[in-house]
Structure 1
Amino acid sequence: MHTTAIMTIRPVRADDVTDILALAAKTGSGLTTLPADETLLKARIDRSLRTWRGSADKAEQGYLFVLEDSVQQRVVGVSAIEVAVGLQEPWYNFRVGTLVHASRALNVYNAVPTLYLSNDHTGQSELCTLFLDPDYRQGTNGQLLIKARLMFMAAFRQRFGRRVVAEMRGFSDDAGYSPFWANLGQRFFSIDFAHADHLSISGNKAFIAELMPKHPLYVDLLAAEARDVIGVVHPQTEPAKATLESEGLRYQGYIDIFDGGPTLEAEIDDIRTLRESRVISVASVSSASVKDDETLPWLLLANDDYNDYRVVVAKARVSEAGAELEPRIAQALNLNCGQSARMATLFAREKTV
C-alpha cells in the first residue's frame, strides 16, 4: 500500500473487467452478486453502463461502483445499487414468522417460529455487491465503499425507491459449507450451494418458485446448526453490517433463502448519510495539509456529477463560505473553486460547521 494514494469511488468502466474478475476470485463462497465468471461480469458491467446512459428499463437498472487506488491505478473494491428489485424476475427471501398452536383443554400454548417464502421487498432499492480486496481492509476504505452509494442516492434521490434493503452474506465456514443451505435448501433442490448460487446469479431463478414449498416451514424441525445461523452474517460481513446499522438500517425478520443471512432495511429518507448530507461550495484549493489535524472530522466528499461521479474520504476545513480542499482532493473529485460538492461526516455524531 502507498500512503499517498487517493482512494476514489467512480462508476465502473468496461475495461475494469480484468480487475473485477481478479477481485471476484478472492470472495470465496456466498457472495452471489460477484461471480468469478467473465461473461457474467461483463453483462453486469454492461447493464450498469446502460443504466448510466439512460437506456436500461427500470426493471434492470443497477449502478456498479468501483474503488480505485490512484497510485496503482487498479480497482480494489466494488459496491452497487439495484434501483428496484423483483420487477424483472422474482426477488425471494424468507420472512421469519410465528404460528401459535394452542389447546385450552390440554393447557398448551406454543408459539412456533416459521419461515414463509416472500416477495415483500419487490420494487425496493437494494445495496449490494460489496467487496473490498483483503489487502485494503484498513483505514477508511471500507466505510468509503459502503457509504459512497448513500451519497449517490442523496444526490439523485428521485431515481430510487422509498425503502432500501441490503442482504447480508450469511454464515458459511472456511470450506464454503453453509449449515442453513445443507439443512433446508439442499433438501428441496438436491443441488449443492455453489450450483444454486450460480443458477441464481445467472438469472435462472424459476427453480426457486418451482421447488420451494409454499407452506410455512417450521424452524424447530431444522438441525440446531441451521437454527443457530438464521439471521447470522459471515464473519467477514460483520463490519459492513455494523456500518449499515450505524446508518439506521435494521433487521426486520427477513433472511436469505440460500444461506439464512439477514436483510437490513430502512426508509430511504431515514438513512443517516442521506439525511445529513448537504451541498457546499468549494471556497478554495489550498496546499496546506489538513489530514493530520485531529480537530477536523473525516468527511465524505462527492462531486454530484451523475455521469462522472466521484467520492473520496478526506479532511477539509469547512466554514460558512464553503470548503477548503487540498489540491489532490480537488483533482480526485474533478472540482475547481466555485463549484459545488456534497459533504457528509463519515461517522455518525461528528460535526462540521
Structure 2
Amino acid sequence: MTFVVRAARDEDLAHLYEMAKLTGGGFTNLPPDRSALRAKLERSHAAFAREEEGVEDDLFVLILENTATGEVRGTCQIFTQVGQRHPFYSYRISMLTQHSRELDRTFRAEMLSLTTDLEGSSEVGGLFLHPGERAGGLGLLLARSRYLFIKAHRQRFGDRILAELRGVIDEAGGSPFWDGLAGRFFGMNFQDADAFNAIHGHQFIADLMPKHPIYTAMLSETARAAIGLPHPSGRAAMRMLENEGFAFEKYVDIFDGGPTMTARIDAVRSIRDAQEARVAAIGRDAGTEALVAHGRLSDFRCAFGTVRGADGEIVIDPDCAAAIGADAQSTVLHVARV
C-alpha cells in the first residue's frame, strides 16, 4: 500500500470538511466550515499557479492520498510569509526582576507581552492525519513532505519558519488559557470564540486585548499551567519538530496558549540534509528507506521509497516511482527516513 502527498484539488473539499469535523476544536488552520475551507483551496490554487519566484503571501495545501483506493487520509499546509494580511501576534513569555533593599528581597514576575516578532516568518501548520491511519509513519510523511516542498521551492520562502501547536483543551472542550485571560475581555466562551476564530482568524483577539504586559501571577492556576503546553494529541508533533531542529523560544499562541516552535529554515534537518539526484534506474533491490519527492508546484509529489546510489545518481523502487510520477532520468529530492 503506497501513500503520496500531493497538491490539494477542488474535489478534496468534502474530504477536508470531514477531517475538519474530527479535529475536536482549537484547530485554527482546518476549520469545520465549507466556505472557509473552499477559500483556503482557492488561495492554494493561486499559489500553485504562480510561476514567478520570490516570497509572496502564499498558502499551499497538501493532501495525503492512498494511491490504491484514491482515499484522502490526511492534510497539511505551508504559509510562505505570515503577517502580511493582518499583524501576526504572539505572546512572548518574559521575566521582570525587581529588588527591594528595605525588604532585602528579590521578586521575579513572569509576564506575557503582545508582540509581532515572528511576522514575516514562513509557517508549517494544518497537519491532520485521519485517526484510522495513525500508524506506519504517515504523520512523519505528511510533516516532512513540507520541508522537501520548501527545499524544491526555496526562493519562495524566507529565513525563519514557525509552527504553532494547539494548546491545552479540557474534557468539556474549553481552554483554561482562554478562560483565564482572553475570555475575561470578550464575554465569549472558548467554543464560540473557536468557531469565530476558525472562519475569521484571531485578529479580533489582538484588536481588543490589552496591549500592556500581563502578569501571569494574576491568572488562575489552571491558566498559568497551560501556558506553553501542547494539546496531548500534539506531543508527538512537538517531538518531530524538535527532531527537525525547531525550538520553543517562549512564544505562545494568544488564543489558547499553545507553544510556537521556531527555526531557521536552512537549519531544518530535512531541508539541510535533502539531496538532489538523477534517477539512474528503477528497481527493487534493497536500499535505504527515504522520503522521495518529484515535481514542482502543483506537480509536486512525495512518498516513502527505497534509495541506493551515490554521486548524484540513484535507484528508486517502482512503487515510489509510480507514486511520485518519476522515471529514469527524472530529478528527485530524497532524504533518509530516520
Does the C-alpha gap of structure 1 residues 203 and 129 become closer, same or farther in structure 2, counting only changes over 3 Å? same
2:116 corresponds to which residue? 119
Q: TM-score scaled to structure 1, two decimals?
A: 0.91
**Match of 2:12, as an amino acid?**
D
Does the C-alpha gap of structure 1 residues 102 and 58 become closer, same or farther in structure 2, counting only changes over 3 Å? same
Is 1:200 matched with 2:197?
A: yes
1:340 corresponds to which residue? 331
For the residue of structure 2 that corresponds to 1:274, the secondary structure is helix
The superposition leaves residues 92-116 of structure 1 with CA deviations (integer Å, 9 ceiling, x where unpaired) of 1100011223211221211110001
Contact 2:276 2:331 in 1 (8 A): yes
**Match of 1:306, as an amino acid?**
L
Write the distance in 2 (CA, Å) between the matches of 1:115 and 1:217.
5
1:161 corresponds to which residue? 158
| Alignment counterpart, residue 9 of structure 2, candidates 10, 13, 28 | 13
2:41 corresponds to which residue? 45
Contact 1:303 1:309 in 2 (8 A): yes
Write the distance in 2 (CA, Å) between the matches of 1:256 and 1:336.
44
For the residue of structure 2 that corresponds to 1:109, the secondary structure is strand
Contact 1:59 1:86 in 2 (8 A): no
Contact 1:283 1:337 in 2 (8 A): yes
**Match of 2:250, as an amino acid?**
G
Is 1:280 matched with 2:314?
A: no
Write the distance in 1 (CA, Å) between the matches of 2:91 and 2:303.
36
Is 1:299 matched with 2:290?
A: yes
For the residue of structure 2 that corresponds to 1:280, the secondary structure is strand
| Alignment counterpart, residue 256 of structure 2, candidates 252, 259, 282 | 259
Write the distance in 2 (CA, Å) between the matches of 1:229 and 1:340.
46
Is 1:65 matched with 2:62?
A: yes
2:32 corresponds to which residue? 36
Write the distance in 1 (CA, Å) between the matches of 2:292 and 2:172.
39
Is 1:86 matched with 2:83?
A: yes
CA RMSD of aligned residues (A): 1.8
Compute the displacement of 1:306 (Å).
Answer: 2.4
**Match of 2:116, as an amino acid?**
N
Write the distance in 1 (CA, Å) between the matches of 2:275 and 2:142.
19
**Match of 2:144, as an amino acid?**
K
**Match of 1:75, as an amino acid?**
V
Is 1:209 matched with 2:200?
A: no
Write the distance in 1 (CA, Å) between the matches of 2:149 and 2:189.
37
Write the distance in 2 (CA, Å) between the matches of 1:181 and 1:122.
23
**Match of 1:335, as an amino acid?**
A
For the residue of structure 2 that corresponds to 1:323, the secondary structure is strand
For the residue of structure 1 that corresponds to 2:226, the secondary structure is coil
Compute the displacement of 1:220 (Å).
Answer: 1.2
Does the C-alpha gap of structure 1 residues 49 and 191 become closer, same or farther in structure 2, counting only changes over 3 Å? same
Write the distance in 1 (CA, Å) between the matches of 2:137 and 2:91.
33
The superposition leaves residues 152-193 of structure 1 with CA deviations (integer Å, 9 ceiling, x where unpaired) of 111111100110000011111233121111111111111111
For the residue of structure 1 that corresponds to 2:42, the secondary structure is helix
The superposition leaves residues 286-345 of structure 1 with CA deviations (integer Å, 9 ceiling, x where unpaired) of 2x364xxxxx44201001422300000122223446222222211111111011110111
Contact 2:8 2:62 in 1 (8 A): yes
2:316 corresponds to which residue? 325
Q: TM-score scaled to structure 2, two decimals?
A: 0.95
For the residue of structure 2 that corresponds to 1:214, the secondary structure is coil
Write the distance in 2 (CA, Å) between the matches of 1:213 and 1:321.
55
Contact 2:174 2:191 in 1 (8 A): no
1:293 corresponds to which residue? none
Write the distance in 2 (CA, Å) between the matches of 1:317 and 1:214.
55
Write the distance in 1 (CA, Å) between the matches of 2:163 and 2:89.
13
Write the distance in 2 (CA, Å) between the matches of 1:321 and 1:187.
59
Does the C-alpha gap of structure 1 residues 23 and 206 become closer, same or farther in structure 2, counting only changes over 3 Å? closer
2:50 corresponds to which residue? 54
The superposition leaves residues 220-264 of structure 1 with CA deviations (integer Å, 9 ceiling, x where unpaired) of 111111111111111111111100100000000000111111000
Write the distance in 1 (CA, Å) between the matches of 2:179 and 2:55.
35
**Match of 2:278, as an amino acid?**
S
**Match of 2:279, as an amino acid?**
V
Does the C-alpha gap of structure 1 residues 301 and 222 become closer, same or farther in structure 2, counting only changes over 3 Å? same
Contact 1:283 1:321 in 2 (8 A): no
Contact 1:9 1:148 in 2 (8 A): yes
Write the distance in 1 (CA, Å) between the matches of 2:26 and 2:108.
32
Contact 1:116 1:217 in 2 (8 A): yes
Unaligned 5+ residue runs, structure 1? 291-295, 348-353
Does the C-alpha gap of structure 1 residues 243 and 326 become closer, same or farther in structure 2, counting only changes over 3 Å? same
| Alignment counterpart, residue 102 of structure 1, candidates 99, 104, 128 | 99
Identity of aligned residues (%): 35
